[in-house]
Amino acid sequence: MKRKRTNRRWTYLLALLLTAVATYLTSEETAEEQTGTHRFQKEESVESVEIPAPLSHTSEQILQRKAYTVSYNRDLKIANWVAWELTADKLVERVERNDRFLPDPDLPADEAVTTDDYRGSGYDRGHLCPAGDNRWNRKTMEESFYMTNICPQDHNLNSGDWKELEEACRRWARQYGSIYIVCGPVLHGKKHRTIGRAQRVTVPEGFFKVVLCTRTDPPQAIGFVYNNLPADRPLSAYIHTVDQVEELTGIDFFTRLPDECEQQVEATCHPEWWNIKP
């Protein structure tokens, strides 16, 4: 009888323990649902998270490259956006910059922008996905000079503040191992200056860039907006939230993140996390 009572006692204690564990797990799940948070783990990976939602308000042709993806606007003769993942591994410099700007081979010859369309315009052939992010492979370097990855850009901006942002992105990729980047032109209104001979290439009024890092819990995102004008300002002067960049451009970023996570990272940004000084 004593042995049976002992067995019953252990059975009872085990049942209490299992009930307590189940109650704790349920309360944690309920609390997470009530607060609308998503516990995004560092090892979570979302395929093609850098690709924005399809555009419905403008012309869009998706062009897939080895290192990046382009949403090309055949009416404006520039990209709507260019998106890519930048990893620390891709920052190994295996090839030299070639500076050979090429018409995009995926476009009809009579529609493709060439470097001649920029000649005498006063604007630089500004990269969206930088050549400096593509020195890990000969093909990626070549494709970074396709004219669908190029926009008319003020020389001072291209060689100054915009270049500083490109260099900052490479630092973040080395530090965190991987970041996702989307950048492109900012267009105000419906009428824009154009340049070109055979093609009429739209000159954007500005440029945007949004950056996402999912290697932290929670993920972090930040946006930047530049006027297409000469400037000499600190990186902090250009900071925006991703939500603000979405409102400015009409582009929906990082839609492949879980909804709660997307809302959190796009609504706020933390410059100190990116080591950006005021």
Catalytic residue among 38, 57, 127, 188: 127
Within 10 angstroms of residue 228's Cβ, the number of other Cβ atoms is 22
Gap between the Cα atoms of 113 and 127, Å rounded? 14
- Identify the residue whose tokens are 């997470």: 32
DSSP 235: G
H-helix or E-strand containing 225?
A: strand 220-227
Alpha-helix runs per DSSP H in 83-197: 138-143, 155-159, 161-176
Please return the burial class of 276, using the count of CB atoms within 10 Å of its CB with bins 0-12, 13-18 and 19+.
middle
Residue 239: left (phi > 0), alpha (psi -120 to 50), or beta? beta
What is the Cβ-side half-sphere exposure of residue 121, based on CA atoms within 13 angstroms? 25
**Among this protein's residues, is 240 annotated catalytic?**
no
| Residues annotated as part of the active site | 127
